[in-house]
């Protein structure tokens, strides 16, 4: 089963949802704002793809962090702590199939190469 994680008002998430629907893919949407982000979920994602691919360093949430906090993010554990406190720093959307992270963010050409 495909699962898409993110927040509904994010433009990138909207584009991914539209693309999946237009391609005829059914998926479950997990809204970070409504359903939250669990420590277990993050631990699994970080184990699969690492904090560098999962951390969104663009956008206002990251930009507003003090430099000391930004510099303290150096591994999965420190990134996980920040992501649990501020889910908006998770790169969106996260596309998962049967528990495996297929993609973070959305680029149509990348989604087209996935075996959905």
Full-model pTM: 0.92
Torsion angles phi and psi, residue 96, rounded to 5? -130, 145
The yes-or-no answer on residue 10 being catalytic is yes
Q: Are 101 and 114 in contact (CB under 8 A)?
A: no
CA distances from 87 to 24, 32, 53, 64 (A): 29, 7, 14, 14
The residue annotated as part of the active site, out of 5, 7, 9, 10, is: 10
The CATH architecture that domain 2-113 belongs to is: 3-Layer(aba) Sandwich (3.40)
What does the pLDDT profile of the chain (116 residues) look like in tens digits? 899 999 999 999 999 999 999 999 999 999 998 999 999 999 999 999 999 999 999 989 999 999 999 999 999 999 999 999 999 999 999 999 999 999 999 999 999 999 78
**Confidence (pLDDT) at 116:** 80
Q: Please report which residue ranges of the chain form alpha helices under DSSP H.
A: 11-22, 32-35, 39-49, 51-54, 60-63, 67-72, 76-85, 108-113
């Amino acid at each position: 089963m495909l699962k898409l994680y993110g927040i509904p008002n994010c433009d990138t998430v909207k584009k991914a949802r539209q693309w999946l629907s237009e391609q005829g893919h059914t998926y479950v949407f997990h809204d970070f704002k409504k359903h939250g982000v669990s420590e277990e979920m993050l631990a699994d994602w970080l184990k699969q793809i690492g904090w560098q691919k999962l951390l969104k360093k663009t956008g206002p949430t990251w930009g507003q962090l003090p430099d000391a906090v930004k510099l303290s993010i150096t591994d999965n554990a420190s990134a996980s702590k920040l992501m649990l406190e501020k889910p908006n720093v998770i790169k969106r959307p996260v596309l998962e199939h049967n528990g495996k992270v297929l993609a973070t963010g959305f680029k149509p050409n990348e989604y087209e190469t996935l075996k959905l």
